[in-house]
Amino acid sequence: MSFGQLPYDVAHLLGGAMLLTSFVLLYQRRVPAMVNALAAQGALLAAAAAWQGMVQAAPQLYVTALVACLAKAVAIPLALRLLIRRLDLHRTVETALGIGPSLIAGVALVALAILTVLPVTAGARAIVREDLILALSVLLLGMLMMITRRNAILQVIGLMSMENGLILAAIGAAGMPLVVELSTAALVLVAFVVAGVFVFQIRERFDSVDIGFLELHRGERR
Amino acid sequence: MPLPWIIVFLPWAGALALAAIPGLALAARLNVLVAALSFLLCLLLFGYPHGVQGWTRVDALNVPFVTLAAFIGLTSALFSAGFVAAEGFDRLRGRAYHAAFQLFLGAQALALLSDNLGVMWVAIEIATLASVLMVAAHGTPAAIQAAWKFFILCGVGIALALFGTIVLYLAAQPVAGHGDTGLSWGALRAVAHQCDPGLLNLAFVFLLVGYGTKAGLVPLHSWLPDAEAEGPIAISAVLSGLLLNAALIAVLRAEVIVVANPGTVAADAFLLTLGLASVLLASVSLWRRRDARRFFAWSSIGHVGLAAFAFGLGGTAANAAGLLHLAGHSVVKSAIFFGVGHAVRLKGGQGIAEIGGLVASHPALGWGLAIAVAAIAGLPPFSLFASEFLLVTETTAQAWWLLPPLLIGLFTAAAAKIVTLQAMCMGAPRPDAGVPPGRAASLCALGPLWVHLLLALAIGVAMPAPLAAMLQDAARLLG
C-alpha cells in the first residue's frame, strides 16, 4: 500500500484533515467555534477508524468508530456547549501566546514530529510512517494547546485532541490488540474530566473556571 | 477465575458495595474487611506458580509489591476507619471516598500483575481516576486545585504513555505478529533484540515521560506535593506507598524491553539522570518546606528518585538495592503519614511549626513518628539504611564519579529530615488546638504506625531467606 492507491490516499486524507482541525483549535479564539472544531475532529477520527476497519478487515475498529462518533462528535461537544452556556464563555478567549507565535510553534512541532519519526521508521511501510507522523503531530499540537490556554475547558479540549491523536495512532497500527478497550478507556478519562468540571461548577459555584483563580490556592500559603 | 484476577476483582466488588452503603461507620468497617481479605489472598500468591496467565503474570518482581500494596492498603483502611469521621464528609462524599479507595487498590494490583502492556495502561489510568477522586474528596478550593493539577499532569502523562505503548507494538509487530502477543511483556522481551531499535527508542521516551510523571520523577513531579497535602490523610499514605511504586515498575518493565536490544540508546542513563535530578532537587526543596505533609511528599520524590538512580545504575546488586529501597520507603512513608495524620488532628494544623514536642505530650505517637522519620532519613537499623548502603557501595564499584552528587543529595536530605524530626517531636510541646481523636481512633493510627516500623526493622536486620531469594530473582529479571 503506497501513494496513489485508494486505501492509502483516503487514510492519509482523513489523518491530514485531523491535523488541520488541530491547527484550527490552535488559532481559534472563540470557544463555541473551538467546540465545533473538536466535534469535526471527532467525526474525522470516526471516519478514519471505520476506513481502517474496512481496509484492514478488522470489524472491531467499527466499534471504535461508532464510539468515537457518538461520544466525540456528538455527546461531549454537546456537554461542552451546555457548560459554555452555563459558564457564559461566549466571549473571546485569552491565549497565553498570540495567534502568530502559537501557529509558528505548531508548525515547528509538526516538523519535529516528522524529523523524529522518519529516521526511526526507515524500515516500516509508508502508511505506518505517515500515520505515526500525523498522530504524533495531533498529539503534540493538543499538548501545545493545553500549555497556551489558561482556561479549564480549553485544557479539556486540548486533552481530548491529544487523545484523538492517540486513537489515530492505535487504529493505524494494523492488528493492534485491545484497540477498542484502549480507546474506550481513554474516552472514560476525558468523560471523567468533563464531568469533573460540571460537578465542581455546580457544587462549588465557582465564578470562573479560569485556572488563574485556582492558582491562588496553590502551594504553601505564606 | 485465576488468583490474580480474584485479587483485582475483590476490591472492585468491594468498591461497588461501598458505593451503595450510605452509613460512614459501616462503610469504613467494610472497607477494612475487604482490604483484609485482599491481603490474605495476596499471601496466597507466594505459593502460586510463576508464569503468564493470559493478560496477567505472576513473577518475582510483582508478588512482593502486590502483597506490600495489599498490606499498606489494609493498614491505611484501618487508619482511615479511625479518622474518616473527622474528615467531615457528607454521605455522597463518604461513599465516593470509600468506593474510590477500593477501586484504587484493585487497579493498583492489576497494574502490577498485568503482563499485557495495554491492560497495564488501563489499570494505571483507573488508578489515576480513583486517586483524583480521593484527592478532591474534601471539595475545598485547595483540594480541587490539587486534584485538577494532578489530573491534568497525569492525564497528559498517561496519554503519552499510551502513545509509547502503541509505538512499542509497532516496533514488535513485524516480529511478534498480530494479536495479544504484540503487547505481552514476556513476548516483547523475548523478541526485543529483533525489533527496530529506532522505534523502541521512540517508545521508551514516551513511556518514560508518561509513567515517569506518575512516579513523580523530576521534572515531572509538581503534582505530587499538592496531591499529598490536600487529600484525606489516608490517601497520602497510599499515594506514596503504592502509586509511585506501580508507576516506577511500569517504567522498569518498559526499560527491560528496550535494553534487551543492543541497538537502542542507553535507556538506563535516562533513568539514572532523572533519578539523580530527583534526589538533588528534593534534598534542596526539603529545607524550604513548612507544611509537614508537603515535606514528606518531597521526601517521596527524593526516595523514588533514589530507586530510579539504582535501576539506572543497573546490575543485579543495584537493582536489588532499588527494589529494597522502594519497598522500605513504602512501609516507612505510610507509617509517617499515619503519625502525621494523628498529629495534625491533635494540633489542628499541618504546619511543621504547629506540630511540636510530640514526644513530651504524646509519647507513643511522638516516639513512633521520631523513629519513623529517622528511618526515612536512612539511619540504621531500618531497611532504608540497608538499601542506601548497598546502593552507595554499588555506585562506588560501578561509577565512582557519581558518588559526590549522590552523597551530597543523601546527606542534605537526611539533615533536613533530622531538623524536621527535632522540630516536630522534640522540644517543648505545642498546645493541642485540634479535636483530640478518641481512644479507638488513636489506636487505629498508632497500631499501624508501630507495625510498619517493626516490619521495616525486620526487613532491615532479619530478612527471611525466601524473600531475599525472591528479591534477587526480581533483580535478575530487571537485567
Supply the DSSP string of A15-84, one letter for each residue. Answer: HHHHHHHHHHHHH--BHHHHHHHHHHHHHHHHHHHHHHHHHTT-THHHHHHHHHIIIIIIIHHHHHHHHH
Q: Which of B122, B202, B289 sits opposite A181 (nearest CB)?
A: B122
Chain B residues 156-185 with CB within 8 Å of chain A: 156, 158-160, 162-163, 166-167, 169-170, 173, 177-180, 182-183
Report CB contact under 8 Å: A159, B152: yes
Is the pLDDT at A211 greater than 60, yes or no?
A: no
Q: Is residue A189 in a domain?
A: yes
pLDDT at residue number A200: 64
Report CB contact under 8 Å: B294, A169: no
> A19 with A137: CB under 8 angstroms?
yes
Long-range contacts of A115-120 (CB under 8 A, 24+ apart): A116/B202, A117/B202, A119/B198, A120/B196, A120/B198, A120/B199, A120/B201, A120/B202
Tell me how far CA of residue B11 lies from CA of A87, A144, B6, B37, B409, in angstroms: 38, 38, 9, 9, 39
Is the pLDDT at A61 greater than 70, yes or no?
A: yes
pLDDT at residue number A201: 54
Q: Is residue A222 in a domain?
A: no
> A24 with A18: CB under 8 angstroms?
no
pLDDT at residue number A222: 42
Q: Is residue A131 in a domain?
A: yes
Chain B residues 81-140 with CB within 8 Å of chain A: 116, 118-119, 121-122, 125-126, 128-129, 132, 136, 139
Report CB contact under 8 Å: B226, A178: no
Is the pLDDT at A183 greater than 60, yes or no?
A: yes
Secondary structure class of B202 (helix, strand, coil): helix
Is the pLDDT at A92 greater than 70, yes or no?
A: no
Report CB contact under 8 Å: A173, B145: no
pLDDT at residue number A206: 38
Report CB contact under 8 Å: A120, B196: yes
Q: Record the cell numbers describing residue B209, joined without a space.
A: 515521560
Q: Which of A136, A143, A175 sits opposite B179 (nearest CB)?
A: A175
Report CB contact under 8 Å: A218, B145: yes
Confidence bin at A93 (pLDDT 50/70/90): low
> A201 with A86: CB under 8 angstroms?
yes
User: Higher-confidence residue: B61 or A190?
Assistant: B61
Q: How far apart are CA A55 and CA A49, in angstroms?
A: 10
Q: Which of A120, A139, A216 sits opposite B163 (nearest CB)?
A: A139
- Total count of domains within chain A: 1
Q: List chain B residues with CB under 8 Å of A120.
A: 196, 198-199, 201-202
Residue B36: name the closest of B15, B10, B56 by CA.
B10
Q: List chain A residues with CB under 8 Å of B145.
A: 214-215, 217-218
Report CB contact under 8 Å: B144, A186: no
Is the pLDDT at A209 greater than 60, yes or no?
A: no
Q: List chain B residues with CB under 8 Å of A147.
A: none
Q: How far is B54 from chain A (nearest CA, A)?
A: 13
What value of ipTM does the predicted structure carry?
0.89
Q: List chain A residues with CB under 8 Å of B121.
A: 182, 185
Residue A7: name the closest of A66, A59, A53 by CA.
A53
Q: Is residue A173 in a domain?
A: yes
pLDDT at residue number B370: 93
User: Higher-confidence residue: B6 or A206?
Assistant: B6
Q: Record the cell numbers describing residue B223, joined without a space.
A: 503534582
Is the pLDDT at A185 greater than 50, yes or no?
A: yes
Percent of chain A whose pLDDT exceeds 90: 27
Q: Is residue A1 in a domain?
A: no
All structural domains of chain B with their residue ranges: 266-479
Is the pLDDT at A213 greater than 50, yes or no?
A: no
Q: Quickly list H helices, A88-178.
A: 99-120, 126-148, 152-172
Q: How far is A99 from chain B (nearest CA, A)?
A: 23
The answer for residues whose C-beta is within 8 angstroms of residue B155's C-beta and 6 or more apart is A159, A189, A193, B128
Question: Can you list the residues of chain B whose pLDDT is less than 50?
Answer: none
pLDDT digits (tens, 9 = 90+) for A94-133: 666 778 888 999 999 999 999 988 888 777 676 778 888 9
Report CB contact under 8 Å: A222, B173: no
Torsion of CA B468, B470, B473, B479, to 10 degrees: -80
Please give the residue of chain B at the shortest CA–CA distance from A212. B145
The answer for residues whose C-beta is within 8 angstroms of residue A154's C-beta and 6 or more apart is A31, A34, A93, A145, A146
Q: List chain B residues with CB under 8 Å of A201.
A: none
Q: How far apart are CA B208 and CA B215, in angstroms?
A: 10
Confidence bin at A91 (pLDDT 50/70/90): low
Q: Which domain holds residue A85?
A: 6-217
pLDDT at residue number A127: 72
Query: For A49-78, what is the mean pLDDT?
Result: 89
Three-point CA angle A155, A161, A164, nearest 5°? 150
B148 to chain A, any CB pair closer than 8 A? The answer is yes
Query: For A38-52, what is the mean pLDDT?
Result: 93
Report CB contact under 8 Å: B141, A219: no
Residue A116: name the closest of A90, A84, A140 by CA.
A140
Please give the residue of chain B at the shortest CA–CA distance from A197. B148
Report CB contact under 8 Å: B118, A216: no
